[in-house]
A and B are shown apart, each in its own frame.
Chain A
Amino acid sequence: MTTILPQLTTPLQQTRVDVFNEIFVLFLGLGTLVGIVVVSYTLYNAYKYRDDGNHGEDEDLPVVGELPTGGKGGRKLFLSFGLSAVIVLGLVFWSYQMLLYVEAGPGDEAQEEALNVDVEGQAFSWTFQYENGVESNGELVVPADREIQLNVTSIDVWHAFGIPDQRAKADAIPGEYSETWFIADAPENGENVTHEDAIECFELCGAGHSNMKADLTVMEEEAFQEWMAEQEAQANSGGNESGGGNESATGTQTGPEGNESSANGTDAASNESGANESSAAGAGGNATDAANETNAGNESDTNGTDASGDDGNNDTEDNETDGNADDESGQEGES
Chain B
Amino acid sequence: MSEHFPPRTSIKRWLVTTNHKDVGILYLVTAFFFLIFGGVLALLFRVQLWSPGGTLLSNSGFNQAVSIHGLVMVFWFLSPVATGFANYLVPLQIGAKDLAFPRLNALSYWFYLFSGVLLAISFFQGGSFEGGWTMYAPLNVPMYTPAVQATTGGTAAIVALLLFVTSITVGTVNFLTTMHRSRAEGLGLWNVPLFSWSWLLTVWMMLFAFAALLAALLLLVSDKILLTQYFVTDQGSSLLWAHLFWFFGHPEVYIVFFPALGIMFETFQTFTGRRIVGRKWVIIAMVLVAVQSFLVWMHHMFLTTINLEIKTLFMATTIGISLPFDLMVFSLIYTMVKGRVRFTTPFLFSLGALVLFILGGITGVFLGAVVLDYEFRGTYWVVAHFHYVMVSGVTALVGGVYYWWPKMTGKMYDELLGKVNFAVYFVGFNLLYFPMFLAWETPRRVFHYADGMQIYHQMATVGAFVLGSSFLIMFYTLGKSLVSGPDAPDNPWEFSRTAEWAIPSPPPLENWPGRPSYASGRLEFVDDTPATDGGATTDGGAMATADAGAALERDHGHDHATAEEHVDHASIWPFGIGLGLFITLLGASGMTGTVAALVESLDPEYFESAGLTANVSYLYSGITVVGVATLGYTLFEFGRERFTAPTMAIAERWPFENVANTKLGVWFFLASDVVVFGAFIGAYVFMRIYAGWGSWDPVPPFTQLGLLNTYILLTSSFTVILALVMAERKNKTGLLATLGTTVLLGLTFMGVKAYEWSYEFSHGIFWFTDLHYSMYFVTTGLHGLHVLLGLFVAVFMIYRVISIDAYLEDSRPVEFFGLYWHFVDIVWVFLFPLFYLM
Contacts and interface: CB of A to CB of B under 8 A. Distances in A.
A261 to B, nearest CB: 5
A160 B303 contact: yes
Contacts of A52: 340
Contact of B276 (A47, A70, A164, A259): A70
A51 B447 contact: no
Interface in A200-232: 200-211, 213
Nearest to B496: A64
Contacts of B337: 45, 49, 73
A61 B611 contact: no
Interface string B316-327: 000100110011
Most chain A C-beta atoms within 10 Å of own C-beta, residue among B187, B235, B333, B612 = B333
A64 B491 contact: yes
A220 B648 CA distance: 81
B55 interface: yes
A91 B371 CA distance: 12
Given A160-B377, A202-B444, A65 B523 contact: yes
B63 A65 contact: no
Interface in A133-167: 155-158, 160, 162, 164, 167
Quick one: which of A47, A203, A281 has the most chain B CB within 10 A?
A203
Interface stretch (B355-363, B733-741, B815-823): B355-363
Given A70-B275, A176-B305, A210 B62 contact: yes
A130 interface: no
A123 interface: yes
Contact of A204 (B136, B333, B491, B524): B136
B528 interface: no
Interface stretch (A79-87, A242-250, A309-317, A318-326): A79-87
Given A77-B277, A99-B370, A207 B443 contact: no
B644 interface: no
A67 interface: yes
A62 B276 CA distance: 11
A258 B312 CA distance: 38
Interface stretch (B140-148, B201-209, B216-224, B255-263): B140-148
Given A77-B278, A89-B319, A209 B63 contact: yes
Given A31-B363, A50-B341, A95-B371, A64 B548 contact: yes
Interface centre among A34, A81, A170 (most CB of B within 10 A): A81
A177 B451 CA distance: 32
A171 interface: yes
Contact of A64 (B378, B379, B448, B501): B501
Nearest to A52: B340
A331 B278 CA distance: 66
Contacts of B445: 204, 209-210
Interface string B272-287: 1111111111100000
Contacts of A257: 609-611
Interface string B179-222: 00000001100011110000000000000000000000000000
Contacts of B187: 67
A71 B53 contact: no
Nearest to A98: B371
B807 to A, nearest CB: 42
A296 to B, nearest CB: 7
Contacts of B234: 155, 174-175, 256
Interface stretch (B236-244, B421-429, B533-541): B236-244
A317 B451 CA distance: 28
Contacts of B274: 62, 71
Interface string B749-786: 00000000000000000000000000000000000000
A27 B370 CA distance: 13
Contacts of B610: 257, 260
Interface stretch (A17-25, A112-120, A183-191): A17-25
Contact of B495 (A62, A180, A209, A264): A62
Contact of B193 (A68, A88, A158, A206): A68
B53 A92 contact: no
Contacts of B279: 68-71
Contact of B448 (A202, A267, A281): A281
Interface residues of B, number: 125
Contact of B371 (A49, A102, A162): A102
Given A65-B523, A205-B139, A49 B351 contact: no
Contact of A260 (B143, B334, B522): B143
B137 A158 contact: yes
B502 interface: yes
Contact of B53 (A84, A100, A280): A280
A88 B322 CA distance: 9
Contacts of A27: 365-366, 369, 372
A35 interface: yes
Contacts of B502: 64-65
Contacts of B611: 257-258, 260-262
B728 interface: no
B358 A211 contact: no
A66 B326 contact: no
B330 A80 contact: yes
Contacts of A296: 451
B239 A176 contact: yes
Contacts of B368: 88, 92
Contacts of A24: 366, 372
A49 B336 CA distance: 7
A76 B336 CA distance: 13
Interface in B429-458: 441, 443-448, 450-451
A65 B322 CA distance: 33
A96 B312 contact: yes
A238 interface: no
Contact of A158 (B67, B136, B448, B498): B136
Interface string A261-290: 110110111011001011011100000000
B58 A271 contact: yes
Interface in A30-47: 31, 34-35, 38-39, 41-43, 45-47
A92 B319 contact: yes
A67 B518 contact: yes
A103 interface: yes
Interface string B356-393: 00110011011011111011011100000000000000
Interface string B496-534: 111101100000000000000010011110000000000
Given A77-B330, A175-B233, A209-B446, A42 B63 contact: no
Given A174-B138, A209-B446, A68 B144 contact: no
Contact of A265 (B146, B281, B308, B378): B146
A293 interface: yes
Contact of B497 (A20, A62, A158, A162): A62
Given A67-B518, A70-B277, 15 more contacts: A35-B359, A62-B497, A67-B187, A74-B277, A76-B277, A78-B278, A81-B323, A173-B305, A175-B236, A204-B67, A204-B136, A206-B145, A207-B147, A210-B448, A211-B448
5 contacts: A42-B336, A50-B343, A66-B522, A202-B444, A271-B58
Interface of B: 53, 55, 58-60, 62-63, 66-67, 130-132, 136-139, 142-147, 149, 186-187, 191-194, 232-239, 269-270, 272-282, 303-305, 308, 311-312, 315, 319, 322-323, 326-327, 329-331, 333-343, 351, 354-355, 358-359, 362-363, 365-366, 368-372, 374-375, 377-379, 441, 443-448, 450-451, 491, 495-499, 501-502, 518, 521-524, 547-549, 609-613
Across chains A and B, which 9 residue pairs bring their CB atoms closest together, nearest first? A202-B378, A70-B279, A65-B523, A175-B234, A268-B146, A174-B234, A260-B611, A71-B275, A95-B369
